[in-house]
Structure 1
Amino acid sequence: MTDAASGSGARATDAPPFDGKAFARGLSLAPGVYRMIAADGSVLYVGKAGALKKRVASYFSNAPRPSRTTAMLAQVARMEVTVTRTEGEALLLENQLIKSLKPRYNVLLRDDKSYPYVLVTQEPWPRLALHRGPRHVPGRYFGPYPGVTAVRETLNMMHKLFRLRSCEDSVFRNRSRPCLQHQIGRCTAPCVGLVPAREYADAVRRATLFLEGRSDDLARELGEAMEAASARLDFEDAARLRDLLTGVRSMQARQYVDGRAAELDVLAVAMQGTQACVLLLAFRDGRNLGTRAFFPRTNGSDNPAEVLAAFVSQYYAEQPPPREIVLDRAIEDVPLLEEAFGAAAGRKVQLRCNVRGERAGYVDLARRNAELSLATELGSQAAQRARMASLQALLGLDAPPGRIECFDISHTMGEATVASCVVFDQEGPVRGQYRRYNIAGIEPGDDYAAMQQALQRRFRRAVEAPGTAGADATGEAASPPPHETARGRRPDAVLPDLLLIDGGAGQVAQARAVLDASGIADQVMVVGVAKGEERRAGHERLLLPDGRELRPGADSPGLQLIQQVRDEAHRFAITGHRGRRQKARNVSRLEDIPGIGPRRRASLLKHFGGLAGLKAAGAEEIAKVEGINEALAGRIYATLHGLQEAVPPGAPPRTT
């Protein structure tokens, strides 16, 4: 790839306008990516081209163009191009740049949720589980699924059929007897050795065949194994295989498309003005995995085909495409997309529209669901705007807050203290900018110190980098205040309009002290949210900066918004605290003792029935376990009871 640029990086107001025709004349007919850049350096638009010269020149011809395009071109100060070897490379580079630069006039796919997968871990006794987030756990990932419900239904069915473990490794390693999952027939209890390794490996392999969509191969294998078991008069094994085959056949019969097991996605777009919804209806191995609605940021575009094309390009650049993608309308660059998706998937991928038969019915279903989802989203946005307006009036603000942050502290008797920060803007929660802070170096249970530490860490970078230039609603270049709503920008580099503190006067005083010390107290409004009588919802007290105390009541839409933000901060803090606490408890203290390896640790836990039984035992009892001598038993006892020195067997326990 090669890069080229033209124009000034920071054009003065009296500089001549950008000459797009002259710039286009200097380009080649090679494929590549072009970037339109404003005078303040912000990227206006990123596009791909099979022939850069023709594509860029089309923007500056005398042909009629939409008002949105005219407004964009009026802001162009310079352009940059990157030449690629193929159009497929240009498509990939375009998607990468859109994702990283978030241009002002591109349609942007946004989704606050990570996609759910079915995970089969890579270990001696693999685990079958739901997975969301970064794929750092070794193993095979199957998906993505449209929603968590589809994953849970799949897992529920597979645990019944293949009886693979679902427990975490910390539980699996420390079991001394089978759990409830084994008793109800959903696990073969490999944790206590009730299933041979070879039989468990066969179950994993068969589950993988099912997840790969090779149900016919699996059914044929099970039929042959059942006949072989019958021939050797092993009727118990034959009956087990018969039941498994019956379960697989019943799943195969649930739903087919055009009489065969299909692998396809159906996409439909609905629009009202510049608000858009793209609905995905997914089929894998003939099974309908359900629907999922996406609400891309159109950035002023009112063209459904353009929105759908941008969605297809960006979504399947990150997710593995199925063999067939059915669209409710024609889009541009279909051959290019098919070539790029096929190269990434290693097989043919087909994009189709104007379909007939069952597929036409599914397109109609997706279109109607897209319209319904868009209407629901617009209704929720209207309610959100009404609550924002009520909050503005309640707090006496000059304008509705563009960015709200709320902090909360969670711990259990001072253990594993975690602070949460959640972010809301005028569209609702911005989950990608949520943050948690693990609090350390304070007196356990000191909520004031915890709040102070969290706020200092939050606003440190905001003070160093208060914000950058943006654009107003008309698309003109502007220099917004540092607290502007900025989805996609670094959350720690902007300031909120409104800072909510879950707590009373003490926590609010800590927040004000941190803001005063940072020199930003006049830029952020701090409001405390104190619980009302008997902790009843709707009776909260709002502590304002001027010392006033408000009790809006449960009917106030503004208070309802504050409750939503506060409850979300509370939920996010508790989730982080529980995870941190469980992680600390899952790490066995036996692992820190020299001389205790996996085999001795397993023997100890099996002998005493778990860590609780081991802690209740004396040093003499510990020494009776095979492979544990008296000196080692003393070290184990001392470690488990927090003693600084080993306690010899027979000696009375010493306190610290």
Structure 2
Amino acid sequence: MTEASLENGIATIKAHIKTAPTAPGVYRMLSKHGDVLYVGKAKSIKKRIVAYTQPNRLSVRLMRMVAATTSMVFVTTRTEAEALLLEASLIKRFKPPFNVLLKDDKSFPYILLREDHEWAQISKHRGARRHKGQYYGPFASASAVNRTLNTLQKVFQLRSCTDNTLETRTRACLLYQIKRCSGPCVGHVSKSEYNDMVAETRAFLEGRTSGIQKKFATAMQEASDDLEFEIAAIFRDRLNALTHIQSHQTMVNAMVDEADIIAAAEVGGQVGIQVFFFRAGQNWGHRAYFPKHDKSDGIEDVLMAFISQFYDNKPAPRLVLLSHAVPDQALLSAALSERMDRKVTLTVPERGKKADVMREAIRNAKEAVERKLAESASQTKLLEGVAQLFDMAEPPKRIEVYDNSHIQGTNAVGGMIVAGPDGMMKNAYRKFNIKSEDLTPGDDFGMMREVMERRFKRLIKEDADKERGHWPDVLLIDGGKGQLSSVMEILHDLGVNDVTVVAISKGPDRHAGREQFHMPDRESFMLPLTDPVLYYLQRLRDEAHRFAIGSHRAKRAGDIKKSPLDGVPGIGPKRKKALLHHFGSVKAITGADVRDLEGVEGISRAMAQQIYDHFQS
């Protein structure tokens, strides 16, 4: 940042003040490339952005942001609460470098009780809610869902199979044999009995368990009194499974039926956040988050930004317990209430059982940050070892690793994985479908040349001045001297000469630990078997291999699913299905005459002639 660039940024903002609205809304600061630097909300946009023209009141971070600003965009909203929600959405969309960013915000799994079939189905669900039924969650992880589903199968014995499996089975499956399904597919349970199980399942997932326990206990006693000991044993096992899951809810007794606990802790300038999910009086797991933020950001500001982004794509419960009071807490509560169309309360518990639970959550958050920092320190040490090994001036911030995958040249795919100080950067992974028709099948050198050419031509076009942080410090190539030469040739042609390039080839008999490293103008070398840097580079190489193979298999699977009918103009899924149902196979379709094709529902004479000509040409 120079004084001139700061003055230019302030001048840009002053120019935009003249046309800035006084209404509530969201403003975006843009760089010279059009990248979003910062997203902010305000009750009055015009009044808010005036503060950025007073450098003596800005932190160093904000001065850097202002210096990089060359343009601004404004969006007005009806209320400040709407502005808060829009701000969170835009931050997640653009990932501005000067905002607090919530990383690893994957969708949460739910339990779906489908009720659009006469035999209700229970299953794990993630993604869009396309099915009619009740969705219970969120659960912190797939394993938390699986544990609950496992218990539900033992206790209530609802089907988990697909509709097609249900309709085509002629004998009960293994789940019925091990007493985890009541067997509706083969009539082992009546419709009324099954509906009772559905009602009990719903009651359990909504926290109404006492009546279920009493019912099972009564049924077990009655069966025992009637000397029906096998039936009594079934109810005993179901009762035990129900009691088992309740006995593991150690924190629940102090809680209400539905709440999220969000606890933040700061260690060494890094804020970590733990979220516990309580639904239906049960603990449905917890997850740790480590938002990306500047060290000057206070824990309350980080927590505020986290909450608004966290609930951008998931429902908020009626009660959210916080470890710290956050700025604009009332506004955030109003915004979430508006979105959920019901009251959402945000509060900091100060005494009683809820405060005890919060202290436990804060302890978990602190321990999570300490583990994260320990892992980061280990990662930093490894990157320092990489820099020393490859004669680099400083530890690399971005390592790109490349590998190719194909079967005798078919479905060839190049894979690129990225690693840095925070570990694997999976959102930066890329695959390259090999497009060149001039390559000899199986030409690994030619494939690598194509991948490198496409990667760096685009990089030069999009980030020629290297300001966006997309340029690699190290290229790690899976291969030997041939692959290294191919890569260096392309980089030389493109004028790229400031990237460390290393090829890693497998040792004799592909022995792990005996890998050889090849670099330009340097003799090939090996590392001691116990060197931690060797293990690290092996992990990177193996991850690139896994990613490339996975991409290749996905492409091959897609090709296998393709049909010769896909190449016929005007033939979509509906007509394809009609043709296959009528003729039974693609081979029969290719041998049919126009009159036979015309006899298929939805196929006109002109379309029949087109299909015939396509296969006979």
Query: Normalising TM by the smaller chain, what interval?
Result: 0.7 to 0.9
CA contact (8 A) 2:109 2:139 kept: yes
1:392-541 correspondence runs (5 A): 392-410=387-405, 419-436=414-431, 447-449=442-444, 452-453=446-447, 456=450, 459-460=453-454, 462-464=456-458, 466=460, 480-481=465-466, 485-486=469-470, 495-508=471-484, 511-512=487-488, 519=494, 522=497, 524-541=499-516
CA contact (8 A) 2:406 2:442 kept: no
* Range with greater deviation from structure 2 (52-61 or 374-383): 52-61
2:398 partner letter? R
**Per-residue CA distance 1:621-654 (angstroms, 9 max, x = gap):** xxxxxxxxxx97xx79x99xxx999xxxxxxxxx
Q: C-alpha distance in 2, partners of 1:92/1:532?
A: 55
Q: C-alpha distance in 2, partners of 1:335/1:564?
A: 47
Match of 2:208 among 204, 211, 215: 215
Structure 1 residues 393 and 434, CA gap change in structure 2 (3 angstroms) = same
Structure 1 residues 44 and 509, CA gap change in structure 2 (3 angstroms) = closer
2:475 partner letter? L
Q: Quote the offset at 1:377 in angstroms.
A: 1.2
Q: Does 1:333 align with 2:308?
A: no
Aligned to 1:161: 155
Aligned to 2:546: 571
2:469 partner letter? T
SS in 2 for 1:110: coil
Structure 1 residues 103 and 328, CA gap change in structure 2 (3 angstroms) = same
In the superposition, the TM-score normalised over structure 1's length comes to 0.72
SS in 2 for 1:543: strand
Q: Quote the offset at 1:72 in angstroms.
A: 3.9
Structure 1 residues 24 and 506, CA gap change in structure 2 (3 angstroms) = closer
Q: Does 1:352 align with 2:347?
A: yes
Structure 1 residues 62 and 426, CA gap change in structure 2 (3 angstroms) = closer
Q: C-alpha distance in 1, partners of 2:50/2:100?
A: 22
Structure 1 residues 173 and 384, CA gap change in structure 2 (3 angstroms) = farther
Q: Quote the offset at 1:108 in angstroms.
A: 0.9
2:473 partner letter? D
Q: C-alpha distance in 1, partners of 2:552/2:171?
A: 29
CA contact (8 A) 1:104 1:299 kept: no
Match of 2:102 among 89, 94, 109: 109
CA contact (8 A) 2:404 2:414 kept: yes
CA contact (8 A) 2:405 2:412 kept: yes
Structure 1 residues 128 and 546, CA gap change in structure 2 (3 angstroms) = farther
CA contact (8 A) 2:408 2:442 kept: no
Aligned to 2:37: 44
Q: C-alpha distance in 1, partners of 2:306/2:477?
A: 38
CA contact (8 A) 2:123 2:149 kept: yes
Match of 2:76 among 68, 83, 86: 83
**Per-residue CA distance 1:69-128 (angstroms, 9 max, x = gap):** 455445555544322111222012211221233223211111175533335568756664
1:633-644 correspondence runs (5 A): none
Match of 2:531 among 556, 566, 571: 556
Q: Does 1:370 align with 2:355?
A: no
Q: C-alpha distance in 1, partners of 2:130/2:433?
A: 23
Q: C-alpha distance in 1, partners of 2:486/2:171?
A: 50
CA contact (8 A) 1:112 1:431 kept: no
| Structural RMSD (CA) | 4.8
Structure 1 residues 193 and 522, CA gap change in structure 2 (3 angstroms) = farther
2:92 partner letter? K
Q: C-alpha distance in 2, partners of 1:412/1:162?
A: 48
In the alignment, structure 2 segments of 5+ residues that lack a partner are: 565-572, 593-617
Q: Kindly, what percent of the aligned residue pairs are identical?
A: 35
More helix by share: 2
Q: Quote the offset at 1:534 in angstroms.
A: 4.5
Q: Quote the offset at 1:346 in angstroms.
A: 2.8
**Per-residue CA distance 1:374-410 (angstroms, 9 max, x = gap):** 1111121121111112112212234333322223345
CA contact (8 A) 2:21 2:45 kept: yes
In the superposition, the TM-score normalised over structure 2's length comes to 0.75
1:82 partner letter? V
CA contact (8 A) 2:316 2:336 kept: yes
Structure 1 residues 513 and 428, CA gap change in structure 2 (3 angstroms) = same
**Per-residue CA distance 1:520-578 (angstroms, 9 max, x = gap):** 66455442222224544322111223463120123334323211211222333455566
Q: Quote the offset at 1:60 in angstroms.
A: 5.1
Q: C-alpha distance in 2, partners of 1:558/1:224?
A: 60
Aligned to 2:11: 18
Q: C-alpha distance in 2, partners of 1:512/1:167?
A: 54
Q: C-alpha distance in 2, partners of 1:114/1:373?
A: 21
1:140-289 correspondence runs (5 A): 141-166=135-160, 178-188=172-182, 203=197, 206-208=200-202, 210-211=204-205, 213-216=206-209, 219=212, 247-248=241-242, 251-252=245-246, 254-255=248-249, 257=252, 261-289=256-284
Q: C-alpha distance in 1, partners of 2:200/2:438?
A: 53
Q: C-alpha distance in 1, partners of 2:232/2:209?
A: 19
SS in 2 for 1:89: helix
CA contact (8 A) 2:207 2:282 kept: no
**Per-residue CA distance 1:326-375 (angstroms, 9 max, x = gap):** 11111111122112212222322110014321211221112112221111
Structure 1 residues 508 and 39, CA gap change in structure 2 (3 angstroms) = closer
CA contact (8 A) 1:384 1:426 kept: yes
* Range with greater deviation from structure 2 (20-29 or 73-82): 20-29
Structure 1 residues 130 and 401, CA gap change in structure 2 (3 angstroms) = farther
* Range with greater deviation from structure 2 (416-425 or 239-248): 239-248
Structure 1 residues 390 and 176, CA gap change in structure 2 (3 angstroms) = farther
Q: C-alpha distance in 2, partners of 1:41/1:358?
A: 50
Q: C-alpha distance in 2, partners of 1:16/1:248?
A: 63
CA contact (8 A) 1:37 1:43 kept: yes
2:547 partner letter? F
Q: Quote the offset at 1:580 in angstroms.
A: 6.3
CA contact (8 A) 2:272 2:288 kept: yes
